[in-house]
Amino acid sequence: MNDYLSRSEISPVERSATRAPSAVSAVQPVSTSVTANSSGGSARNTASEDQAQAESDIASSAEYARVHARIADILADLRSQDGMTTVEGAAQEIQSMLPAPQVLVPLPPASKEAVESSIRIARRIAEQAVYAHAAQANVRRGTVDQIVTASL
């Protein structure tokens, strides 16, 4: 039961053929005033959720820009000729800005299995943290610029 076909078995597509016009007319977009009146308060809820998401994205971008500016300051201090900052000190300052991983363990009314499961997850996260740090350290500048501009 082989469902795969070789390329020679597939007939070639004629690319010069024109497509017949569609028999169905295009659907016209619904105006926002009709949507708000017909759905009641759901349009207002959606608008407030969109605004909250936009504010969250802006706050995230602002935090990224703040951290980026702080790292630039640290590197500028390192490049300066005063000799006050060492490479190890700059690395420690940058490392201190990274958030510490946290795992929430269920409180005592939880079952023993739930607590043990969260401990196993915490250990797995700690083991895989090295891979996550390496992956985040090797992001290209264009990727970061696209992420920041997409969130604005």
Region 22-35: mean pLDDT is 62
* Type and span of the H or E element at 128: helix 112-137
pLDDT for 128: 83
pLDDT for 23: 66
Helical axes 42-79 vs 141-151, angle rounded to 10°: 140
Q: Is the pLDDT of residue 7 over 80?
A: no
| Greatest Cα-to-Cα distance within the chain, rounded to the nearest angstrom | 76
pTM, to two decimals: 0.40
Q: How far apart are CA 19 and CA 139, in angstroms?
A: 44
Region 38-65: mean pLDDT is 77
Question: What does pLDDT average to over the chain?
Answer: 75
Give Rg (Cα) of the chain.
27
pLDDT for 139: 73
* Type and span of the H or E element at 91: helix 87-96
**Residue 126 — pLDDT band, cuts 50, 70, 90?**
confident
Nearest to 97 by CA among 64, 130, 123: 64
